[in-house]
Amino acid sequence: MKKITLTINDKEVKGNEGDTVLEICQANGIDVPTLCHFEGLSDVGACRMCVVEIEGERRPVPSCTYPAREGLVVKTHTEQLENYRRQILELIFTERNHFCMFCEQSGDCELQKLAYLYQMDNVRYPYAFPSLPIDPVSDYLVIDHNRCILCGRCIRICSEIAANHTLDFGRRGWKALVVADLEQPVGESTCTSCGACVQACPTGAIFSKLSLYKGRTDECQRITTVCPVCGVGCELDVLVKDNNIVSIEAPELTGLKGPLCKEGRFELLRQTRPRVNCPLIRGKKGELEECSWDSAAEVIAERVSGLKGGFAGIISPRMPNETLSLFHKFIREVVGSDLIDTLDGESHRIIAEGIGQFKNGGNGLDIECPIEEILDADCILIAGADAKKTHPIIGTLVQRAVSQNGAKLIVVNPSQDVFPLWTDIWLKPRAGSEGVLLNGLANIIIDKGLAVPEKAGVELTKSLGNYKTGEVSRSTGISEESLELAAEMYGQAQRGVIIYGEGLLKRNDPSLVTSLLNLADLTGNLAEKGLRVISLKPGANSRGGWELGLAAREIKSNGLKGLYLLLGDEKEDDELLDRLKGIDFLVVQASYHSPVTSIANVVLPSPIWAEREGKYVSMDGHSLELKRALQPQEGLLQDQEILIELSKKLGRQLSPS
Amino acid sequence: MTKVKVATAWLDCCSGCHMSFLDLDEALIGLTDAIEITASPITDIKEFSPVDVGIIEGAISNTHDEEVAKALRANCKILMVWGDCACFGGICAMRNLFTKEEVLRRCYIETESTSEGKVPSSEDLPQLFEQVKPVNQVVKVDCYVPGCPPSANAIHYALAELLEGRIPVLPSEIMRFD
């Protein structure tokens, strides 16, 4: 990049060609006030706070949109500019309702901070007092148009980073408003409630209902940990005041995982289930009764030593590696059983077997590529995965690739088009015909000469079933035209990414995974280390658990006498409940009361996500560190401590490795 | 040394700024050596005589507020205003989002505790303006101490500056709008 030299405030400074004047000021420690500028978003010059004087320009120009060039002579803080800035602030304050004393964001407001900086103790203009609505319809956020300064940061973050394009300017001039879709209430719009706009808003115009009046940022401690919800592994800044979570923010709002999602930013704060606060054992009357740790441990020790086999351990993939491996040890060495699984172990076995069948093995999960590749993709094939629902950040990255880079999007899904506004082709195979479809696509790609020649040998074609387009069409119910179009789209891609998930894995057919890997390999869609293929792993630390070998084998329910379920704060579902029914002796270590704890023989309290620490492995293989944001209430033990204490009761020493 | 004469008034407000002034606590004792408070809600003297410094808390909402503001302005050399209502309109200006009729109806007729309410209409009563205004839209103001209410510290700073012969502008560190 070419270096350029400018003179700013009589000092020579250096910058890169292509930088704006504002960027060069910031890089050189020259503090130019801004409002509509936001690091990582495009600049629009809406607020005019950053105006500077440039020699040769007839009037002050916004530095955020002014491209710097060699030899520019810039002044940033002349008396006239400072007067203009004060004047702009007064105009903003008189335009709508910016009275701070009844604003939720007072103390956390960039507009207010600038008014203090410019000692704005009065305004010289009449106030407009427009009658503007407040939109409180969403479960999570409120848009108060009275507090809006029309900087457009929310709109830009919604389109450029969250890639959802819900927010935009509506109406014109004096009447301009930030609107959702075609002026729908935001709660009834296409908004996904990722909350990126809440974090980007400089004033009290967009705020979170869940953080309302809980505390100001500067009263909070900021702890960076990892989201416990899905396998993407987004970092969360947890803002804590008096051991309560005030809000959750993205440490890097405009980064890859920046927008966060409804689950990570909001739902974690909306926990209404009652906590398990002390150990419980089922008493003589059949009711769960509070008891001491010691008596709970005795009951478990007695039953476990009496069982002699048939005792299994299942653990939530929300648990960090340290707890996972200690649990493994506990079941194997202390209980003496090799029946161990994770709640999502089935997904692992299908993925692992699918990878195993591909070219006799490969490198396990390392054959997959990092999620960054989605942004770089020119074509995305998403098979049996509702990414926007299960892994929202993946949905965001897909939409960014489509809207910003023109990537083509092929959805393979028998029941729904998971990206209805974005999909180029929706392939809707009849239930059970996914295998034919995927292998059929491979065949069509080979027939069209779009496969890498050395990969498309006769042997592979044979193994793919040697389908012709007509047969594939008849079996799957998809038109020949769509099949050919999809084959061309994916076959011609240079950086095509395949994403698959829950829907495909639920088919219980590892060969579908193999077929997808074949497709990527055949077309030369290789990543640095493996293939451009990503599986959406269900749990936050699924990959950690799988790599530690906790999900190697399925536990058959018949003959099972006892089960230790380390559930933590994982949400239970009916499927799990069904699996647990009929087990003689059930120990559940859980954070919340639920139908699962209500059928347990012993319930042990477990910390929630914010009370845990340890390490996760993200679904694409990054090691992530969990930090404790909340101190657990007195008397609560960490999951690992519980296992260690139980081992003592069983006469064994268990130490974390 | 002759004391600096001060008169204060509260208009459309909650009197919180005057309370904040009283929060100067022991600093008030020192101030009494330097200033003499003449007409003020604190002394309960209502007629203004000429003073050095006039102080207004509150916004201009009705004919009475305007009259008092003009009377004090006419009797003082320097006019200082306290609080967000006087500086900007503040909480009082919330009613500007509605018409005067809506406000009166809501206040005197529709409130949940009112039965058979009636909007008072005597000629002896001040007339509400259509819009609430900050003081500087009615009379010339020389200095401003915003805050809701301004802290005792901010009020003290402003008075001390005046006693030193300077027109106070609150530094950013102590200026607050809430």
Q: Please report the domains of chain A, with CATH numbers, ordered by start residue.
A: 3-77 (3.10.20.740), 126-269 (3.30.70.20), 280-344+542-611+628-649 (3.40.50.740), 347-535 (3.40.228.10)
Query: What pLDDT does A458 receive?
Result: 66
User: Nearest-5° angle of CA B88, CA B92, CA B94?
Assistant: 95
A381's enclosing H/E stretch is: strand A379-383
Place of tokens 């495909």: A504
Q: Answer whether A85's CB lies under 8 Å from A60's CB.
A: no
Partner residues linked to B143 by β-bridges:
B80
Task: Using alpha carbons, list the distances in angstroms from residue A605 to A105, A312, A407, A592, A641.
Answer: 37, 19, 47, 8, 12
CB under 8 Å, gap of 24 or more: what pairs does A130-137 form? Answer: A130/A95, A130/A96, A130/A174, A131/B97, A132/A96, A132/A97, A132/A177, A135/A180, A135/A185, A135/A186, A135/A187, A136/A209, A137/A185, A137/A186, A137/A187, A137/A188
A123 CB neighbours in chain B (<8 A) are 88, 134
Cβ separation B94–A117 shorter than 8 A: no
Query: What pLDDT does B122 receive?
Result: 92
Give the HSE-up count for residue A536: Cα atoms under 13 Å, Cβ half-sphere: 27
Task: For residues B109 and B97, give the distance between their C-alpha atoms in angstroms, rounded to a whole number.
Answer: 19
DSSP assignment, residue A530?
A: S
Neighbours of B15 (CB within 10 A): 14
Q: Answer whether A166's CB lies under 8 Å from A180's CB.
A: yes
Cβ separation A101–B91 shorter than 8 A: yes
Q: Answer whether A627's CB lies under 8 Å from A615's CB.
A: no
Partner residues linked to A62 by β-bridges:
A51
Task: For residues A565 and A331, give the distance between their C-alpha atoms in angstroms, rounded to a whole number.
Answer: 11
For A131-243, strand residue ranges (E) read 134-135, 141-144, 167-170, 177-180, 206-208, 221-226, 235-241
Regions in chain B scoring below 70 on pLDDT: 1
**Minimal CA–CA distance to A231: which of A199, A263, A269?**
A263
Characterize A5-16 residue by residue with b for buried, 16 or more Cβ atoms within 10 angstroms of its Cβ, and e for exposed: ebebeeeebebe
Task: Using alpha carbons, list the distances in angstroms from residue A33 to A115, A117, A310, B66.
Answer: 11, 10, 68, 38
Cβ separation A121–B175 shorter than 8 A: yes
- Asked if the C-beta of A121 comes within 8 angstroms of chain B's C-beta atoms, the answer is yes
- Asked if the C-beta of B97 comes within 8 angstroms of chain A's C-beta atoms, the answer is yes
Task: For residues A128 and A91, give the distance between their C-alpha atoms in angstroms, rounded to a whole number.
Answer: 10
Query: What pLDDT does A241 receive?
Result: 97
DSSP assignment, residue A159?
A: I
- Asked if the C-beta of B58 comes within 8 angstroms of chain A's C-beta atoms, the answer is no
Q: Answer whether A614's CB lies under 8 Å from A321's CB.
A: yes
Task: Using alpha carbons, list the distances in angstroms from residue B56 to A98, B71, B96, B162, B171.
Answer: 22, 11, 21, 15, 20
Phi/psi zone of residue A35: left (φ > 0), alpha (ψ -120 to 50 degrees), beta? alpha
Place of tokens 């002026």: A183
Interacting residues of A436 by C-beta distance below 8 A, sequence separation 6+: A429, A465, A467, A471, A472, A475, A476
The pTM of this model reads: 0.94
- Asked if the C-beta of B134 comes within 8 angstroms of chain A's C-beta atoms, the answer is yes
For A428-532, strand residue ranges (E) read 496-500
Task: For residues A567 and A334, give the distance between their C-alpha atoms in angstroms, rounded to a whole number.
Answer: 19
Task: For residues A512 and A500, give the distance between their C-alpha atoms in angstroms, rounded to a whole number.
Answer: 10
For A520-591, strand residue ranges (E) read 533-535, 562-568, 585-590
Tokens of A236: 């969360």
DSSP string, A595-646: HHHHT-SEEEE---GGG--EEEE-TTS-EEEE---SPPPTTPPPHHHHHHHH
SS (H, E, C) A53-98: EECCCCCCEECCCCECCCCCEEECCCHHHHHHHHHHHHHHHHHCCC
Neighbours of B167 (CB within 10 A): 11
B96 CB neighbours in chain A (<8 A) are 127, 129
Cβ separation A99–B97 shorter than 8 A: no
Among the partner-chain residues B88, B131, B176, the one whose CB lies closest to the CB of A99 is B88
Regions in chain A scoring below 50 on pLDDT: none
Nearest-CA distance A135 → chain B (Å) = 17
Query: What pLDDT does B87 receive?
Result: 98
B141 CB neighbours in chain A (<8 A) are 122
Cβ separation A122–B177 shorter than 8 A: no
- Asked if the C-beta of A131 comes within 8 angstroms of chain B's C-beta atoms, the answer is yes
Q: Output the CATH code of domain B4-93+132-163.
A: 3.40.50.700
List chain B domain ranges. 4-93+132-163
ipTM field: 0.96
Task: Using alpha carbons, list the distances in angstroms from residue A203 to A95, A111, B173.
Answer: 14, 6, 20
Nearest-CA distance B93 → chain A (Å) = 9
Task: For residues A72 and A54, give the distance between their C-alpha atoms in angstroms, rounded to a whole number.
Answer: 7
Query: What pLDDT does A516 receive?
Result: 96
Write out pLDDT tens, residues B123-166: 999 999 999 999 999 999 999 999 999 999 999 999 999 999 99
**Minimal CA–CA distance to B126: which of B68, B72, B42, B55?**
B68
Smallest CA–CA distance from A90 into chain B, residue: B88
Task: For residues A130 and A140, give the distance between their C-alpha atoms in angstroms, rounded to a whole number.
Answer: 26
**Minimal CA–CA distance to A616: which of A66, A236, A291, A157?**
A236
- Asked if the C-beta of B148 comes within 8 angstroms of chain A's C-beta atoms, the answer is yes
A125 CB neighbours in chain B (<8 A) are none
Cβ separation A121–B170 shorter than 8 A: yes
Task: For residues A514 and A352, give the distance between their C-alpha atoms in angstroms, rounded to a whole number.
Answer: 10
Task: For residues A512 and A231, give the distance between their C-alpha atoms in angstroms, rounded to a whole number.
Answer: 21
- Asked if the C-beta of A91 comes within 8 angstroms of chain B's C-beta atoms, the answer is no
SS3 A425: strand
Cβ separation A116–B176 shorter than 8 A: yes
Write out pLDDT tens, residues A175-223: 999 999 999 999 999 999 999 999 999 999 999 999 999 999 999 999 9
Q: CA torsion sign, A287 to A288 to A292 to A296?
A: positive
Query: What pLDDT does A361 receive?
Result: 61
Neighbours of A84 (CB within 10 A): 16
Label residue A249 exposed, middle or buried (CB < 10 Å: 0-12, 13-18, 19+).
buried
DSSP string, chain B: -PPEEEEEEE-BS-SHHHHHHHTTTHHHHHHHHHEEE-SBTTTTB-S---EEEEEEESBEEEHHHHHHHHHHHHHEEEEEEEHHHHHT-GGGGGGGGS-HHHHHHIIIIISTT-SS------TTSPPEEEEEE-GGGTS---EEE-SSSPPHHHHHHHHHHHHTT------TTT----
Task: For residues A268 and A247, give the distance between their C-alpha atoms in angstroms, rounded to a whole number.
Answer: 10
Query: What pLDDT does A156 receive?
Result: 98
Smallest CA–CA distance from A94 into chain B, residue: B88
Query: What pLDDT does A484 receive?
Result: 96
Q: Answer whether B75's CB lies under 8 Å from B54's CB.
A: yes
Smallest CA–CA distance from B84 into chain A, residue: A99
Cβ separation B88–A126 shorter than 8 A: no
Query: What pLDDT does A460 receive?
Result: 72
Neighbours of A471 (CB within 10 A): 14
Query: What pLDDT does A607 receive?
Result: 97
Residues in chain A: 657
